[in-house]
Structure 1
Amino acid sequence: MILFPAIDLKDGKCVRLRLGEMDAATVFNDDPAAQALAFERQGFKYLHIVDLNGAFAGKPVNGAAVEAILKAISMPAQLGGGIRDLATIEAWLDKGIRRVILGTVAVRDPALVREAAKRFPGRVAVGIDAKGGKVAVEGWAETSELTAADLARRFEDAGVAAIIYTDIERDGILKGLNLPATAALAEATRIPVIASGGLASIDDVRELMKPEYRMLEGAITGRALYDGRIDAKEALELLGTA
């Protein structure tokens, strides 16, 4: 069970959104590379990065900040946001990103996801962001008619490394992870699933250890970590990854 600290990038800074709203961003650190290094020194083993501007623009926007992060840390990092073609995927993997997260393009162009997963085994994840049970795209600005399980099943045999499942209606507001929905998705697919959106306290981390949720690959933590609602050492020891 991996606990991924999240760095969400907006205008080169480390921020957290509320419910996916770009105009409801709180800046937590002006130096994302320093923040990433702090997470590594706390004992985290894998970093989650999102280029928020890129998710809306459909192309990388915070590339300089991501590259600075990669230079600062030795732990692996996964990156999502604005990655919409093979050239961008390959460029990020060449620069040291361990795996890319494809979100909007997984809905718009599933063939691209399949091609990328085939070309870069184990290095392509799919981000499924749900709002009211339906998959949202374009930086959460639009909602499709697909359910999370529908989208996951498209890639059952594609070699996708993981699915990052985010409940947008809980993201950034500390309501707690939607573990029942995340577990239901994990049961509907053979692809490993990571929970995201709303992790609020050490109680959520304890919840992850329940037998019914142990099939999850891990969970992403953002605002609760920045706010000090979760102690990194305690959480990592609880998950046995310290």
Structure 2
Amino acid sequence: MILYPAIDLKDGNCVRLYKGEMEQATVFNDDPAAQARAFVEAGCEWLHLVDLNGAFAGAPVNAAAVEAILAAADVPAQLGGGIRDMATIEAWLDKGLARVILGTVAVENPALVREAALAFPGQVAVGIDAREGRVATKGWAEETDVMVTDLARSYEDAGVAAIIYTDINRDGAMQGPNIEATAALARAVTIPVIASGGVSSLADLIALRDTGAIAGAISGRALYDGALDLKQALAALKG
């Protein structure tokens, strides 16, 4: 199982939100590139980046910070937030991103996801963010009646590289991930599922890994708070 350290970007800074609320942002580092280097030096194999302003704006906002991270880090990175058309997808992949994450458009414009997955094999992931099993879009600001499993299954034949599943009520709350729901989703589809939201301890990571169904886990706040030691976590997952 791959551990993805998260760099969430708001106004050019590395922040963590509490349950997806932009007003409840804690700044952990004002130098995203330095943060990326620190994660790479600790041994991470991937980085998970989110343009939080972009998710609300519907277009990239923290591009300069993302580009600085790509220049500073020599591991693959995936990015979500505000990526809603082919031109933006292409531009980011041309700049060296390994994978783009499509969230809002996965609900609103499935044809775009399919087109992108076909055009860029292995480089398009679907981000599914949910409250109580229902998908939320536009930076988690809008709730839909779409069920998580239904949305995931609708992309089974599209060739997407992964599904990043976030339980919004767990995100940044340090209460542990929703292991049951994440494992159930992973078992319902053949697409690799990456868990996001609430990963706050080594025990959480081990529990996710031990389901035998989950391909990866994203952690942010726990790494910044020191509740999770990245080197130790990576070693434990390898062991």
- Bin the TM-score by the shorter chain: over 0.9
Separation in 2 of the partners of 1:139 and 1:101? 13
Q: Secondary structure at the match of 2:49?
A: strand
- Residue 222 (1) aligns with residue 223 (2): no
Quick one: percent identity of the two aligned structures?
69
Q: Secondary structure at the match of 2:177?
A: coil
Q: What's the counterpart of residue 113 of structure 2? A: 113
Separation in 1 of the partners of 2:191 and 2:40? 27
Q: What's the counterpart of residue 27 of structure 1? A: 27
Q: Deviations over 1:103-162 (max 9, x none)?
A: 000000000000000000000000000011100000000001011101101110000000
Which of 232, 235, 238 in structure 1 is aligned with 2:230? 232
- State how 1:45-64 maps to structure 2 within 5 Å: 45-64=45-64
Kindly report structure 1 stretches of 4+ aligned residues shifted beyond 6 Å.
none
Separation in 1 of the partners of 2:12 and 2:212? 35
Gaps of 5+ in 1: none
Q: What's the counterpart of residue 174 of structure 2? A: 174
Separation in 1 of the partners of 2:213 and 2:207? 13
Separation in 1 of the partners of 2:177 and 2:2? 15
Separation in 1 of the partners of 2:229 and 2:94? 34
Separation in 2 of the partners of 1:136 and 1:219? 20
Q: CA deviation at 1:77?
A: 0.0
- State how 1:80-229 maps to structure 2 within 5 Å: 80-210=80-210, 213-229=211-227
Q: Secondary structure at the match of 1:191?
A: coil
Separation in 2 of the partners of 1:172 and 1:65? 21
Separation in 1 of the partners of 2:71 and 2:172? 27
Residue 40 of structure 1 aligns with an amino acid whose one-letter code is V
Separation in 2 of the partners of 1:131 and 1:142? 11
Residue 218 of structure 1 aligns with an amino acid whose one-letter code is G
Residue 216 of structure 2 aligns with an amino acid whose one-letter code is G
Q: Deviations over 1:202-231 (max 9, x none)?
A: 111221232xx2221110001001000011
Q: CA deviation at 1:177?
A: 0.7
Instruction: State the TM-score, normalizing by the size of structure 2.
Output: 0.99
Separation in 1 of the partners of 2:208 and 2:216? 8
Stretch of structure 1 that moved more, 84-93 or 201-210: 201-210
Residue 132 of structure 2 aligns with an amino acid whose one-letter code is G
Separation in 2 of the partners of 1:6 and 1:233? 15
Separation in 1 of the partners of 2:212 and 2:124? 22
Separation in 2 of the partners of 1:209 and 1:87? 36
Separation in 2 of the partners of 1:200 and 1:222? 8
Q: Secondary structure at the match of 1:136?
A: strand
Q: What's the counterpart of residue 43 of structure 1? A: 43
Q: Secondary structure at the match of 2:40?
A: helix
Q: Secondary structure at the match of 2:157?
A: coil
Q: Secondary structure at the match of 2:152?
A: helix
- Residue 69 (1) aligns with residue 66 (2): no
Let me know the Cα RMSD of the aligned residues.
Answer: 0.8
Separation in 2 of the partners of 1:192 and 1:92? 22
Q: Aligned residue pairs: how many?
A: 239
Q: CA deviation at 1:63?
A: 0.3
